[in-house]
Structure 1
Amino acid sequence: MKLIFTALIFFSLLTFAFAQTDSTDSMIEELLEDSSQDLEEAQNLDLLEYLMKNPIRINSASINDLESIPYLTHASAAAIIRYRNLRGGIYSADELKSIESVSGKVIEKILPFIFFEKEEKILVTNHLSIDNIKFSYRFRVMNDLQERKAFEENKYPGSPQKYYNRFLFGISNKIGAGVLIEKDAGEKSLSDFYAFHLNIKEIGFAENFIAGDFVYEFGQGLAMWGPYSFSKGSDAIGTVTKNGRHSVPYLSADENQFFRGSAVKINFNNLSFSPFYSYRFLDASIDTNTNMINSLSLDGYHRTNSEILKKDAVTEKVFGISAQYFFSGDSKIGLLYYNSRFNKKFEETYIGGKPVSNFELLSAAYSVSFNKLFLSGEFSYDKKSVSSINNAEFFIEKNLSFAFSFRNFPRNYFSLHGRSFGEKGTAQNETGFYAGCRFATEYGTINVYYDQFKFPVTSDSYLFPTKGREFLFYYTYKIFREAELRIRYKNKKKELVETINSELGTANRTSQNFRAEISYKADKNINMKSRIEYVTLTPTPNLHAENGYLIFQEIKYTPAAKLNIYARLTFFSTDSYNSRLYVFENDLTGVMSNPALYGEGLRWYLLASYETKIGMKISFKYSELYKPDEITLGSGDSEIDGNVDNKISLQLDFNF
Structure 2
Amino acid sequence: MKALIRPVFVQIFILLLSTHTLLGQEPVKPESVNTTQLEDKIEQLSGQTDTELDYSELVDELLQYIHQPVNVNQASERELRQLQLNDLQISNLTGYIQKFGELTSIYELNLIEGFDSVLVSSLAPFITFGLQPPGAKPTLSNLARYGRHQVLMRYQQVLEEQSGFAPVSDSALQLKPNSRYLGGPEKLYLRYGYSFYNKIRFGITMEKDPGEPFWPSTDSLKKGFDFYSAHFFYSGDKFLKYLAVGDYHLAFGQGLTMYSSLAFGKSAGAITTRRIAQQVRPNTGANENLFMRGAAATITPLKNTDLTVFYSDKKVDAGIGATDSLTAETLFISSLQETGYHRTPNELRGKNAIQQTVYGGNLQTRIKMFRLGATAYHTELGADLERREALYNKFDFSGKSLNNFGFDFAAILRSLTIFGEVSGSGNGGKAMLVGATATPDPHLAISAIYRNYGKDYQSFFSNAFAEGSRNANEKGLYLGMFAQLHRRWSLSAYADHFRFGWLRYRVDAPSRGSEYLAQLTYTPARYAEIHFRYRYQQKQINPSGGTGYTDYPEAETRENFRLHLSLKATRAITLKSRIETTQWTMPGFDRKKGYLVYQDFIYNEPEKPWLLNARFALFDTDTYNERLYAYESDVLYAFSIPAYYYKGSRFYLMGKYSFGRRLDLWIRYSLTYYANRTTIGSGLDQIDGNNKSDIKVQIRLRL
Gaps of 5+ in 2: 1-30, 169-179, 215-223, 324-329
2:186 corresponds in structure 1 to: 161
SS of 2:359's equivalent?
strand
- The code of the aligned residue for 1:370 comes to L
- The code of the aligned residue for 1:116 comes to T
Q: Match for 1:92 among 105, 117, 136?
A: 105
Q: Match for 1:451 among 493, 496, 511?
A: 496
1:185 corresponds in structure 2 to: 210
Once the two structures are superposed, what CA deviation does each residue of 1:589-636 show, in whole Å capped at 9, x if it has no partner? 111111111110000100111223232111110000001221111111
Distance 1:513 1:48 in 2: 30
Asked if structure 1 preserves the Cα contact closer than 8 Å seen for 2:397 and 2:458, the reply is no
Distance 2:303 2:625 in 1: 54
Distance 1:304 1:501 in 2: 34
1:17 corresponds in structure 2 to: none
Asked if structure 2 preserves the Cα contact closer than 8 Å seen for 1:283 and 1:312, the reply is yes
Q: Match for 1:151 among 165, 190, 202?
A: 165
Distance 2:480 2:238 in 1: 44
1:476 aligns with 2:516: no
2:404 corresponds in structure 1 to: 361
Q: Which moved more, 1:642-651 or 1:35-44?
A: 35-44
Asked if structure 2 preserves the Cα contact closer than 8 Å seen for 1:45 and 1:591, the reply is no
1:323 corresponds in structure 2 to: 363
1:259 corresponds in structure 2 to: 292
Once the two structures are superposed, what CA deviation does each residue of 1:256-306 show, in whole Å capped at 9, x if it has no partner? 010000111101211110101110000000111793221111111111000
1:222-233 correspondence to structure 2 within 5 Å: 222-233=256-267
Asked if structure 2 preserves the Cα contact closer than 8 Å seen for 1:93 and 1:107, the reply is no
Query: Bigger relative contact order, structure 1 or 2, given CA contacts below 8 A and separation 6+?
Result: 1
Distance 1:481 1:313 in 2: 54
Asked if structure 1 preserves the Cα contact closer than 8 Å seen for 2:118 and 2:527, the reply is no
Q: Measure how far apart 1:506 and its partner are.
A: 2.0
Q: Match for 1:293 among 333, 337, 350?
A: 333
1:642 aligns with 2:689: yes
Asked if structure 2 preserves the Cα contact closer than 8 Å seen for 1:71 and 1:109, the reply is no
Distance 1:317 1:374 in 2: 36
Q: Match for 1:392 among 436, 457, 464?
A: 436
Q: Which moved more, 1:64-73 or 1:315-324?
A: 64-73
1:280 aligns with 2:314: yes
Distance 1:388 1:372 in 2: 24
Distance 2:255 2:696 in 1: 35
Q: Measure how far apart 1:476 and its partner are.
A: 1.0
Asked if structure 1 preserves the Cα contact closer than 8 Å seen for 2:212 and 2:341, the reply is yes
- CA 456–51 in structure 1, closer or farther in 2 if over 3 Å, else same: farther
Q: Match for 1:337 among 376, 383, 390?
A: 376
Q: Measure how far apart 1:482 and its partner are.
A: 2.4
2:44 corresponds in structure 1 to: 34
Distance 1:461 1:29 in 2: 31
- CA 70–425 in structure 1, closer or farther in 2 if over 3 Å, else same: farther
Q: Which moved more, 1:188-197 or 1:459-468?
A: 459-468
Distance 2:626 2:403 in 1: 41
Q: Measure how far apart 1:159 and its partner are.
A: 1.6
Distance 2:351 2:378 in 1: 23
SS of 1:29's equivalent?
helix
- The code of the aligned residue for 1:200 comes to Y
Q: Measure how far apart 1:441 and its partner are.
A: 2.1
Q: Which moved more, 1:82-91 or 1:574-583?
A: 82-91
1:101-120 correspondence to structure 2 within 5 Å: 104=116, 108=120, 111=123, 114-119=126-131
Percent identity, aligned pairs only, is: 28
Q: Measure how far apart 1:153 and its partner are.
A: 4.6
- CA 149–112 in structure 1, closer or farther in 2 if over 3 Å, else same: farther
SS of 1:291's equivalent?
strand
Q: Match for 1:175 among 200, 212, 230?
A: 200
Q: Measure how far apart 1:333 and its partner are.
A: 0.6
- The code of the aligned residue for 1:652 comes to I
- CA 581–460 in structure 1, closer or farther in 2 if over 3 Å, else same: closer
Distance 1:461 1:514 in 2: 27
SS of 1:441's equivalent?
coil
- C-alpha RMSD of the superposition: 2.5
SS of 1:367's equivalent?
strand
Distance 1:72 1:651 in 2: 33
- CA 49–118 in structure 1, closer or farther in 2 if over 3 Å, else same: closer
- CA 273–378 in structure 1, closer or farther in 2 if over 3 Å, else same: same
Give the TM-score, by structure 1 length: 0.91
Once the two structures are superposed, what CA deviation does each residue of 1:433-452 show, in whole Å capped at 9, x if it has no partner? 00011001224111010000
1:405 corresponds in structure 2 to: 449
Q: Match for 2:531 among 486, 499, 514?
A: 486
Once the two structures are superposed, what CA deviation does each residue of 1:2-26 show, in whole Å capped at 9, x if it has no partner? xxxxxxxxxxxxxxxxxxx977142
1:556 aligns with 2:602: yes
2:149 corresponds in structure 1 to: 135
1:515 aligns with 2:555: no
- The code of the aligned residue for 1:167 comes to Y
1:379 aligns with 2:379: no
1:586 corresponds in structure 2 to: 633
SS of 2:569's equivalent?
strand
- How many positions carry a matched residue from both structures? 630
Distance 1:437 1:197 in 2: 39
1:13 corresponds in structure 2 to: none
Q: Measure how far apart 1:233 and its partner are.
A: 0.7
- CA 87–613 in structure 1, closer or farther in 2 if over 3 Å, else same: farther
1:437 corresponds in structure 2 to: 481
- CA 625–48 in structure 1, closer or farther in 2 if over 3 Å, else same: farther
1:610 aligns with 2:657: yes
Distance 2:499 2:483 in 1: 28
Distance 1:351 1:192 in 2: 35
- CA 643–321 in structure 1, closer or farther in 2 if over 3 Å, else same: same
Give the TM-score, by structure 2 length: 0.85
Q: Which moved more, 1:255-264 or 1:150-159?
A: 150-159
1:307 corresponds in structure 2 to: 347
Gaps of 5+ in 1: 1-20
Q: Match for 2:542 among 497, 503, 507?
A: 497
